[in-house]
Structure 1
Amino acid sequence: MLAVLFGVFVGTVMPIQTSANSRLRRSVGSPFLASLVSFAVGFLALLLAVLLIDAHLPPLSQATGMPVWIWSGGILGVVVLTGNIFLFPRLGSVQTVVLPITGQVMMGLLIDHLGLFHAPVHRLDAVRVLGALLLVAGVLGTMLRPGQALSGGHSSGWSLWAWRAAGVVFGMFSAAQTAINGQLGVVFGSALGAALVSFAFGVVTLLFINLALRNRWRLDVSAGNPWWMWIGGFLGATFVFGNAFLSPVLGTGLTVMTILLGLMAGSLLIDHFGLLGAHRRRVTLLQALGLALMVAGVGVIRL
């Protein structure tokens, strides 16, 4: 039960990270530069935590002979982050959230059922399917408001469906990242070490992207630059560590679902109270019912 509660807590940091990184993007001008700064801050925070808690760097030699995919968690994280940048203007806010979450849940259950990425096996049955459906329905309920449609982007026809499929795939990549980092943590004997390596690959990947795009560092001092815009990397480090720690304990599917529950709860709290500069929007009855459905979905699978 404590692991489930920790997963919910880890999920709540994600909307805060999104708000911080969005604000950072306004100040530096480029989403890729903002992502690089966020990853670099997270890497430094994890490096300090590893040196203080583990007292040594991750034993990379222990992963010798492991499949190549064991190192891909950080790269998948960059792909997912970049994918959301491209999805939002084409699909609108609701689909940009719901479709990747659907992909996460589907892939999480598939990883558990087949034991992919050396994950613990949890066979798919009617109860787990019911829990997944309740969670996805709850996500949709928390995202929609009266009069709000699923559309909202600028794509149409086959292009629209291609981007919808991409949204599901990006979500599947996110679930795979959870399982991969969890296995890397098992190999190292440290979830912190796994998160550090994942962030290191992410930093290197984003550094190459920014060099290829010839993005130049700038900081708009006229933008105000609140202190909290720099904490996105620290919160991202917490998220990746949480995934690496919980995946071997709960299984990939339940880890994904508990974190999604926390993510949606955190998002509603930010909207309801207008935190971190967000426009204040009261939580509706439909959204409260959606959150209750998500709790029910997680509870069905866990119990």
Structure 2
Amino acid sequence: MLAVLFGVLAGACLPVQTSVNTRLRLSVGSPLLASLLSFTVGTVALAAATLVATGRAYPELGLAAGSPWWTFIGGMLGVFVLTGNILLFPRIGGVQTVVLPIAGQVLMGLAIDAFGIFGSAVVPLSVSRIAGGLAVLLGVLLVVNVFQSRAQSPADRKGEPALWLWRLMGGAMGLAAATQTAVNGRLGGELGSAVAAALFSFATGAATLLLVLLTRTPFRFRVPDGQARNPAWMWIGGVLGSIIVFAGAFLAPVIGTGATVVVLLLGMMTGSVLIDTFGLLGSPRRRPQWTQVVGLVVILVGVVLIRIV
């Protein structure tokens, strides 16, 4: 029971991390720089965790010599996912920022399992897995209120095409996140440590962002208009990210991979609903409608069908 509770709390860290990093972006003026700072903090936290777990504060990459090139791209995929979260959150809210990538993750996860992509074990498609995938997609449509589009005002309908482009980006982030999970899982197997694989992923992500930012103009740290100061909590996004990574590595052998996915997802959904409903961490209030609540439940049922049944 304590493991399940820990999983739910760790899952809730994701929407909190997105809110924190979004606030950090307001002060540094760049989503890429906010991502770099988050990756850097996460790298330090994971280096400490790797030191405790393996006795060294760095991954022993020699163990992965001869691995396929894609084994080492997890960090770059993480850059896309984390920066995408920062861009999406103020435009579509916490619930959709969490839910839309879930659809991409589920579809890519089903494809990886069905075809054994990235060296994963083949898990054939079954009736329950197909039904679960369809349930997730239906739940996503309910969450984004696609069935209520006719009730929108002309001004809302005019901005709908751009909004759907952001939503498609959310789905693409899910594809990248599922790929990152498979890639890091393969690297973790080669290194003999999931935490060491996560450390390498965070470190390469930070290095990628640093190289990109070196070609840009210097940033200017500031206090956003209308605010008296920068809160201290805006720097903890990387720590929250490392908690999520650690939770996945810790819980999978304890309660099983399928149950780990479900409890983390439950925490993500709960946290995103609370943030949107109460406007926590400086985010705008977006009270969920009944269709969105139903959609969240349908998504959870779909994931259970895919992972558990």
TM-score, structure 2 as length reference = 0.81
Aligned partner of 1:193 in structure 2 is: 196
Letter in 2 for 1:109: L
Q: CA RMSD in A?
A: 3.5
Structure 1 residue 200 displacement after superposition: 0.4
Letter in 2 for 1:37: L
Aligned partner of 2:102 in structure 1 is: 101
Letter in 1 for 2:234: M
d(CA) in 1 for partners of 2:105, 2:208? 23
Aligned partner of 1:224 in structure 2 is: 229
Secondary structure at the aligned position of 1:213 is classed as coil
Aligned partner of 2:238 in structure 1 is: 233
Structure 1 residues 233 and 96: alpha-carbon distance in aligned structure 2, compared to 1, 3 A threshold: closer
Aligned partner of 1:17 in structure 2 is: 17
CA offset digits 1:203-245 (Å, max 9, x no partner): 1001011111123352438652112111111111222334556
Range moving further from structure 2, 165-174 or 17-26: 165-174
Letter in 2 for 1:126: V
Aligned partner of 1:276 in structure 2 is: 281
Structure 1 residue 130 displacement after superposition: 0.9
Unaligned runs of 5+ in 2: none
Aligned partner of 1:45 in structure 2 is: 45
Structure 1 residues 129 and 261: alpha-carbon distance in aligned structure 2, compared to 1, 3 A threshold: farther
Structure 1 residues 296 and 99: alpha-carbon distance in aligned structure 2, compared to 1, 3 A threshold: closer
Structure 1 residue 261 displacement after superposition: 3.9
Structure 1 residues 154 and 77: alpha-carbon distance in aligned structure 2, compared to 1, 3 A threshold: farther
In the TM superposition, 1:73-222 aligns within 5 A as 73-83=74-84, 99-144=100-145, 156=161, 167-220=170-223
Structure 1 residues 123 and 83: alpha-carbon distance in aligned structure 2, compared to 1, 3 A threshold: same
Secondary structure at the aligned position of 2:123 is classed as coil
8 A Cα contact 2:143 2:292, kept in partner: yes
Aligned partner of 2:65 in structure 1 is: 64
TM-score, structure 1 as length reference = 0.82
> What percentage of residue pairs aligned between the two structures are identical?
51
8 A Cα contact 2:103 2:140, kept in partner: no
Structure 1 residues 161 and 78: alpha-carbon distance in aligned structure 2, compared to 1, 3 A threshold: same
8 A Cα contact 1:195 1:244, kept in partner: no
d(CA) in 2 for partners of 1:24, 1:85? 9
Count residues in correspondence.
299
8 A Cα contact 1:10 1:259, kept in partner: yes
Structure 1 residue 48 displacement after superposition: 1.2
8 A Cα contact 2:252 2:260, kept in partner: yes
Secondary structure at the aligned position of 1:216 is classed as coil
8 A Cα contact 2:18 2:89, kept in partner: no
8 A Cα contact 1:178 1:247, kept in partner: no
